[in-house]
């Protein structure tokens, strides 16, 4: 079965703190894709990143970085020097090769206080 | 590009009424997805189309729900008759390459059935 677990329901930090959002996935497929989406208070879903199962290189984009580890089936997301504008719900998702479905985790609500 | 356009943004209707949600995907995208988001169930895939053809509607909760994609630039999700438990945010998303390059989501339609 395919499944995405985001164990952290809600995280609160103070501005400028670093924060890591955890994502653990389950699949028996060897080819799959992992995604992160951001849902700010306005409600839209914003695509952040896509990784495929054959590329375990970590990625950095500004203050955002992602750590993909197949050994632990994890795809964690770190925000460095958090800002109030980072406050949102963040979703991790799993896509299986040769299907069109994305399986979403339940999301982690991040609140960044000034 | 204007992105994925959904209408209406908000809909309030009485139980038993027919509701039609509309979606215009990004031009050139060949996959279209309807998701529902609730507090209890999170993001659920209802149905998706590839090249205007419904591929998987196993997520459609009941026969009261139906979706169509008469052409590449328009899709509808209809609920008839509506019930209070249908209250949710309904997202439409589109993608190139069957969704695995990352979906672009619309702003969603917040449906309230009273």
Q: Which residue of A has its CA nearest to B57?
A: A101
pLDDT of residue A14 exceeding 80: yes
Average pLDDT over residues B76-87: 97
Q: Which of B50, B99, B105 sits opposite A95 (nearest CB)?
A: B99
> Which residue from A50, A97, A105 is facing B101, i.e. has the nearest CB?
A50
Q: How far is CA B108 from CA A65, A66, A88, A98, in A?
A: 28, 27, 16, 27
State residue A55's pLDDT score.
85
What is the model's pLDDT at position B100? 66
What's residue A97's pLDDT?
77
Residue of B nearest to A51 (CA): B101
pLDDT at A45: 92
Question: What value does the mean pLDDT take over residues B32-59?
Answer: 92
Q: Is the pLDDT of residue B101 over 90?
A: no
Q: Which of B55, B100, B105 sits opposite A45 (nearest CB)?
A: B105
Q: Between the CA atoms of B16, B58, B25 and B73, what dihedral angle is there, to the nearest 10 degrees?
A: -80
**Which residues are within 8 A (CB) of A99 and not within 5 positions of it... i.e. 6 or more apart?**
none
| Rounded-to-integer distance, Cα B33 and Cα B13, Å | 24
What share of chain B has pLDDT > 70, as a percent? Answer: 96
Can you give the length of chain B in residues? 114
Q: Is the pLDDT of residue A90 over 90?
A: yes
Residue B2 has pLDDT above 90, yes or no: no
Q: Is A3 on the interface with B (CB under 8 A)?
A: no
A42-54 average pLDDT score: 90
Q: Strand A64-69 relative to strand A88-96: parallel, antiparallel, unpaired?
A: unpaired
Question: Residue A1: which pLDDT band, with cuts at 50, 70 and 90?
Answer: confident
Q: Rounded to a whole number, what is the distance in angstroms from the first to the last CA of chain B? A: 36
Cβ of A45 under 8 Å from any chain B Cβ? Answer: yes
Tens digits of residue pLDDT in B6-23: 999 999 999 999 999 999
Q: Within 10 A of B114 (CB to CB), how many other CB atoms are there?
A: 10
The pLDDT, as a whole number, for residue B10 is 96
Mean pLDDT over B34-55 rounds to: 93
What number is the average pLDDT over the span A7-32?
A: 96
Strand (E) or helix (H) holding B11: strand B10-13
Cα separation, B58 vs A99, in Å, equals 13
The three-class DSSP label of residue A84 is helix
Residue B99 has pLDDT above 80, yes or no: no
As a whole number of angstroms, the distance between CA A63 and CA A67 comes to 13
Whether A113 and chain B come into contact, CB under 8 Å, resolves to no
Beta partners for A94? A34, A103
Q: What is the per-residue DSSP string for B35-100?
A: EEEETTTEEEEEEEEETTEEEE-TT--STTEEEEEEETTEEEEEESS--GGG-EEEEEEEESGGGT
């Amino acid at each position: 079965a395919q499944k995405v677990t985001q164990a952290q329901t809600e995280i609160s930090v103070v501005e400028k703190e670093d924060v890591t959002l955890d994502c653990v996935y389950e699949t028996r497929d060897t080819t799959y894709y992992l995604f992160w989406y951001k849902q700010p208070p306005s409600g839209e879903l914003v695509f952040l990143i896509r990784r495929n199962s054959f590329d375990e290189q970590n990625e950095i984009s500004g203050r955002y970085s992602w750590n993909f580890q197949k050994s632990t089936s994890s795809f964690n997301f770190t925000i460095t020097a958090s800002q109030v504008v980072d406050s949102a719900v963040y979703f991790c998702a799993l896509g299986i090769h040769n299907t069109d479905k994305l399986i979403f985790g339940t999301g982690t609500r991040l609140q960044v206080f000034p | 590009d204007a992105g994925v356009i959904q209408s209406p943004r908000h809909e309030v209707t009485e139980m038993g009424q027919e509701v039609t949600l509309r979606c215009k995907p990004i031009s050139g995208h060949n996959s279209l997805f309807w998701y529902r988001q609730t507090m209890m169930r999170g993001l659920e895939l209802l149905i998706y189309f590839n090249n205007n053809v419904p591929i998987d509607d196993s997520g459609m909760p009941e026969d009261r729900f139906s979706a169509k994609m008469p052409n590449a630039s328009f899709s509808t999700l209809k609920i008839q008759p509506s019930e209070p438990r249908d209250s949710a945010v309904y997202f439409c998303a589109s993608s190139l390459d069957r969704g695995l390059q990352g979906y672009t989501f619309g702003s969603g339609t917040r449906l309230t059935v009273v």
